[in-house]
Structure 1
């Protein structure tokens, strides 16, 4: 599966909104996991009690994705490798939508009125592209 994120408006919205929220660091990551566990309680069992390292990793990964969102040749192999690693953690294809929703909800809660429907749609398109690529890499028999 080829990865393309071509909408310049989406890339600009992703970068603009992430720049405003990323300064929150671990707090934003913790909000993300709180929301993920609300949406998909079964995912909580995948994580230990110490979430600090996980919060840091999430922020590093999101920072890297945002930095490379306009570079599919760099982003695609990293996304595939990330997906394959997540199989060993017990992540299933049906859990990807909850992660996307938790991400968008976290951005919305963190940015308030500075995060609008067009921003949410841009994040949804980019996350949808990435998650489809990741599912295809990690679960080739289940990819749509």
Structure 2
């Protein structure tokens, strides 16, 4: 990722944070619309789950310029999702699609092609790190 792409992601995420509760609702609604089978992986309070999601994304976004510091945590998170929650590796593409859709809805006109490209690269980088953790769990 270029410094400019990191800046685009960070600046756009700052615009999402004030609407994080609605963004989480949009995200999970879209995720379950894309793949209803994933809903069975969530048995707890979805409002609390949404807060965890937003906190995790915030941590990842604020760490983009020092990815090496969070890669072990991402790999561990991927391992946990695979081993404990039985999240299929194939769901990562669906999650990415739901995230990009949510950002588009939440940011509106501010979700430019450059911002979208930066987020696609960000998600690919983060999800690849998580998936590398699932490989070590196998």
TM-score calculated relative to the size of structure 1: 0.89
**Among residues 69, 81, 104, which one is paired with 1:108 in the alignment?**
104
Higher helix content, 1 or 2: 2
Return structure 1 stretches of 4+ with deviation > 2 angstroms.
139-142
Q: Tell me if structure 2 keeps the 8 A contact 1:14–1:66.
A: yes
Gaps of 5+ in 2: none
Given the alignment of the two structures, is residue 47 of structure 1 paired with residue 42 of structure 2, yes or no?
yes
Given the alignment of the two structures, is residue 139 of structure 1 paired with residue 120 of structure 2, yes or no?
no
Given the alignment of the two structures, is residue 74 of structure 1 paired with residue 81 of structure 2, yes or no?
no
**Among residues 15, 24, 34, which one is paired with 2:29 in the alignment?**
34
Q: Tell me if structure 2 keeps the 8 A contact 1:93–1:135.
A: yes
Q: Give the total of aligned pairs.
A: 137
- What are the Cα deviations for residues 57-100 of structure 1, in whole angstroms up to 9, with x where unaligned? 00110110111011112120111111111111111111101111
User: RMSD of the alignment, in Å?
Assistant: 1.5
TM-score calculated relative to the size of structure 2: 0.93
Q: Tell me if structure 2 keeps the 8 A contact 1:93–1:139.
A: no
- What are the Cα deviations for residues 33-63 of structure 1, in whole angstroms up to 9, with x where unaligned? 0011111111111112620110110011011
Question: Which residue matches 1:97?
Answer: 93
Gaps of 5+ in 1: 1-5
- What are the Cα deviations for residues 111-142 of structure 1, in whole angstroms up to 9, with x where unaligned? 11111111111111111111112111112499
